[in-house]
Amino acid sequence: MSSIRKIELKHGKGNSSLTVVPFGATILSWIVDGHEKIFCSKKAVMDGTKAIRGGIPICFPAFGPWTYGPQHGFARNSKDWKVHHEPKVNVNTGDVELVLELKDTDETRKVWDKKFTLTYKITLKEKTLDLKVNIKNDGEDEFDMTFCFHSYFTTSNLPSVGISDLKGLTYTDKTDESKQKTEENEIVKITGFTDSVYAQAPDAVTLTTTEDMPKMKLSKSGLNDFVVWNPYENAAKMSDMHEDAHLEFVCVEATQTSSPVILTSGQTWEACHSIEIL
């Protein structure tokens, strides 16, 4: 199979660029001031036969195991995303905007018999990446869904990674029989297999990826939760992860998973995720 289409966005004034593929609406690269912020596995499958390992894929209509089909739903490995609006540059700010769209098809309705329109707006700013989704129930019956911006952030030094603003929150530790625990650390570090769902998390957390790099502020609206994930030694079992890849990234994901979103006929749901270089 031929390689998949890539769309390159370049900021009109700032020193930032972004690469996204319509396949899975996956952001592959975000470079600011010459520094890559997004991790992609060197063994990621890039021919459209499976979801891309890394980047920022979209998980819809499910995040995690799904009764009706593949884990994390079908959006992240869908070939049916369309470019709704080609990249558009704001002449005043230099910001670049791209709009992608996913609608139900005969194939998706075989798995999940629902009608929907998912509109995804990506805005590249000088130091910020703004992601916004709008999901509409186009059918007559209500449906429930969960959602995630499954962000892989790159690091050259995993021990220096830290996530702040989570202390005191209750989280589900999926590495320990989904026990409910309380976060006691001011700064969450990655020291082993981590899969933590922070329900009702604050609307912003701060991520340090490498000591000599600027911190990032991760903000969300319309999404209740943050997930922190790194497979650690389990990465070796993944066919599309290169050797020791777990030392090169952390996933801090703006997510709606602790409770489903229920959309009645004609209803819409909107969520935003902003990643800002501080």
Cα gap 269→72, rounded to integer Å: 18
Residue 41 lies in a domain: yes
Tell whether 17 is covered by a domain: yes
Which structure tokens are listed for 114?
């629902």
Answer for the pair 74, 163: CB distance below 8 angstroms, yes or no.
Answer: no
Whether 37 is covered by a domain: the verdict is yes
- pLDDT tens per residue, range 213-244: 999 999 999 999 999 999 999 999 999 999 99
The pLDDT averaged over each successive group of 10 residues in the chain (278 residues) is: 83 94 97 97 93 96 94 96 94 97 97 98 98 98 98 97 98 98 98 97 97 96 98 94 97 97 98 98
Q: Is residue 2 part of a domain?
A: no
Q: Which two tokens stand for residue 254?
A: 């703006």
Residue 230 located in a structural domain: yes
CATH number reported for the structural domain that contains residue 71 in this entry = 2.70.98.10
Q: Residues 5-9: contacts with CB within 8 Å, 24+ apart?
A: 7/83, 7/87, 7/98, 9/87, 9/96, 9/98, 9/122, 9/124
Q: Could you give the number of structural domains in the chain? A: 1
Evaluate whether residue 1 is within a structural domain: no
Cis (ω within 30 of 0) for the bond into 61? yes
0.75 exceeded by pTM: yes
> What integer pLDDT is reported at residue 2 of this predicted model?
54
pLDDT for 14 equals 81
Structure confidence at residue 32 (pLDDT): 97
Containing domain of residue 260, as a range? 7-277
Q: Residue 150 is encoded by which pair of tokens?
A: 């499954």
What CA–CA distance (Å, rounded) separates 153 from 249?
A: 5
Q: Is the residue at 50 inside a domain?
A: yes
pLDDT of residue 1: 42
Say if residues 191 and 161 touch (Cβ distance below 8 Å): no
Is residue 208 a part of any domain in this protein?
A: yes
